[in-house]
Amino acid sequence: MDDKMKGKAKEAWGALSGDEASKEEGRAQQRKADAEEEAAQRERTSRAKKEAKEAERERDRQKVKDKGLLGGVTEPLTGRDRDSRS
User: What does pTM read for this prediction?
Assistant: 0.61
Residue 75 has pLDDT above 80, yes or no: no
Inter-residue contact 27 to 15 (CB < 8 Å): no
Question: Residue-wise over 13-52: b if at least 16 C-beta within 10 A, else e?
Answer: ebeeeeeeebbebbeebbeebeeeeeeeeeeeeeeeeeee
What's the pLDDT tens digit per position in 2-58?
Answer: 999 999 999 999 999 999 999 999 999 999 999 999 999 999 999 999 999 999 999
